[in-house]
Copies of this chain bind each other. A is one copy, B any other.
Amino acid sequence: MTSAAASVEAIVRAAGPHVPLLLARVEERLAELAAGHGPILAEHAGSTIAAGGKRLRPLLVLLAAGPDAACADDLVAAATAVELVHSATLVHDDVLDAAPLRRGLPTVWAQGGRELAVATGDLLFSRAFTELVATGSLAAVRTLSHAGSALAQGELLQRQDAWNAAVAVERYLERCELKTARLFEASCELGALAADADASTVAALGAFGRRIGLAFQLLDDVLDVMGDAARTGKHRGTDLLDGTVTLPLILARERDAELAAVDLRTIVTPEQASELCERIEATGAPVEATAHALAIVAEAKDELAALALALQDGQLLALDLVADSVVDRRA
């Protein structure tokens, strides 16, 4: 299917030439902020921001706004703010996980220790709000603060459920909503707000973002079971090693009684984790989890189609391609 080959380039082509220009301004602003708070932040936050990946959240802000956003500066500020919040959570997650590498580069935690990582994350988080306040939109600040609370609650839930393989599917999905989907939702809402969209369009674009965020997390969790280190930058079964129970394991336990009896605390080496991943894979659970994620993406795309009248053609196509790109990650 051609949609599975959707790349950021194709998305940008569909959305129009304003998108790469604005994305470049977001990059510039992120680099400015990383450099503008002294040498420690420049070194540590700079590397995290630079290693920040595909800029999916800023892209969603820009695409949800469409080509007619009232003020390009405000749009760039909103897109920068969501990426700062995302970067802050990456830095803090690496403290939580004591992760040595992210995307093949040393984490702030590994380079500077937990003290530096906690303070760096806090600074990125605060700066996100400073950035957004400059747009003059209280609705935007409210949206981001709710997403920030959700992220932290998701982390708390994850810690509470750690090592508990018997966790329910609903609880897992709630955690994914909080940890990931809500910032995707906020990204779309911030874009729509910047374009002065009406309340129902803001809500519909938010719902679209939330769904693809949820699918994104589900597929990320499948990748951790199926993927190889070269592609994901992590070893297979990383989640299992830090006690994070995800959908593939939850579903696999229903199908394999011996697997259900495994105490996760006995899984301590990458080899044991890899073996457990093979066992999960053998039950077909990752395929089922993937199918669940694809169904959510399909719902998101339907929701988008219903918005046809409120959106520009290129905007609709570009958002549709973003939904495809989330699916594409599993390939």
Contacts and interface: CB of A to CB of B under 8 A. Distances in A.
Contact of A156 (B120, B129, B138, B151): B120
B148 A129 contact: yes
A114 B95 contact: yes
A interface secondary structure, majority: helix
A123 interface: yes
Contacts of A145: 126-127, 129-130, 133
A142 interface: yes
Interface string A198-224: 000000000000000000000000000
A281 interface: no
Nearest to A127: B149
Interface residues of A, number: 43
Contacts of A122: 89, 92, 121, 125, 148, 151-152, 155
A127 B129 CA distance: 12
A137 to B, nearest CB: 8
A153 interface: yes
A79 to B, nearest CB: 17
Interface string A87-131: 001001001100000000000000011111011111101110110
A195 to B, nearest CB: 20
Interface in A140-188: 141-142, 144-146, 148-149, 151-153, 155-157, 159-160
Interface of A: 37-41, 89, 92, 95-96, 112-116, 118-123, 125-127, 129-130, 133, 136, 138, 141-142, 144-146, 148-149, 151-153, 155-157, 159-160
24 contacts: A37-B149, A38-B153, A38-B156, A40-B159, A89-B122, A92-B118, A95-B114, A96-B118, A113-B159, A116-B159, A118-B121, A119-B155, A119-B159, A123-B156, A125-B125, A125-B126, A125-B148, A126-B151, A129-B148, A130-B145, A130-B146, A133-B138, A138-B138, A141-B141
Given A37-B153, A119-B152, 6 more contacts: A114-B114, A118-B155, A119-B159, A123-B153, A133-B138, A133-B145
